[in-house]
Amino acid sequence: MSIMERFSLEGRVAIVTGASSGLGVSFARGLAEAGADVVLGARRAEKLTDTANLVTDTGRRALAVATDVAEQPDCQALVDAAMAEFGRVDVLVNNAGIGTAVPATREDPAEFKRVIDVNLNGCYWMAQACGRAMKPGSSIVNISSILGLTTAGLPQAAYAASKAGLIGLTRDLAQQWSGRKGIRVNALAPGFFVSEMTDQYKPGYLEEQLERRVLMHRAGNPSELTAALLFLASDAGGYVTGQTLAVDGGITVT
């Protein structure tokens, strides 16, 4: 197998959660361009049509399923739908996530719980369901955040806790499944990428962070993060498991 062939996902099936907008759209399109058929999950099912069209435009097949990852039955139903349609699941991209920026003394318990339920518990339910169906050679990529590794100046206790927990979950599932089941489990820790979440920042915050903390002094391009995802999802990353790869323009080394 040549080096470039190792990046191919031809004949494989990938699930992407949070596929209705933002990075999830880029991930779905990138996986399809690499050769995978893609199963799309999101709460906003009506917005999945556009993502599905991007997948089918590459010549690959798409399946859209309304999914709230905070609900374990929804996660199982998404995997069941993938197996019924395609007969296999080779890649899981745990991308669904929400965030808040609330001072710790004022955060509502229900608000904190919802973030944990989606960002951490939802990734576990999805990994659990996929882990039962996946064959050796499969790959799970959890989308964590640099906020699981460092801080970014905003009061984001729930989000940071969920993303740090996801890094721990990645390590544990890797040690459980890499040898026994042949399933690699890794995480990406994105830095600043323009998304619906960055739209919530106060004016000037992103620019200040890019200038002060990001060595490359710019936000990331979604295609740069998708390229890192393809490395971990494909045979190119075949000897990589239990790792968290920061794609952050250098924030975590400052």
CATH number of the domain that residue 154 is part of? 3.40.50.720
Element (H, E) at 37: strand 37-42
Which stretches of the chain drop beneath a pLDDT of 50? none
Query: Is 168 in a helix, a strand, or coil?
Result: helix
202 in a domain, yes or no?
no
61 in a domain, yes or no?
yes
Please report the pLDDT score of residue 198 as a whole number.
64
Please report the pLDDT score of residue 246 as a whole number.
97
What are the residue numbers of the active site? 159
Residue of 198, 222, 200 lying closest to 210 (CA atoms): 198
- Domain span at 238: 11-192+220-247
50 in a domain, yes or no?
yes
Please report the pLDDT score of residue 43 as a whole number.
93
Strands 37-42 and 62-66, by their bridges, are parallel
Please report the pLDDT score of residue 12 as a whole number.
98
200 in a domain, yes or no?
no
User: Alpha helix (H) ranges present in 106-220?
Assistant: 109-116, 122-133, 157-177, 205-212
Three-class secondary structure assignment of 97-137:
CCCCCCCHHHCCHHHHHHHHHHHHHHHHHHHHHHHHHCCCC
59 in a domain, yes or no?
yes
Please report the pLDDT score of residue 200 as a whole number.
64
- pLDDT tens for 119-160 read 999 999 999 999 999 999 999 999 999 999 998 778 889 999
- Tell me, rounded to whole angstroms, the distance of Cα 90 from its chain centroid: 15
Q: How many domains does the chain have?
A: 1
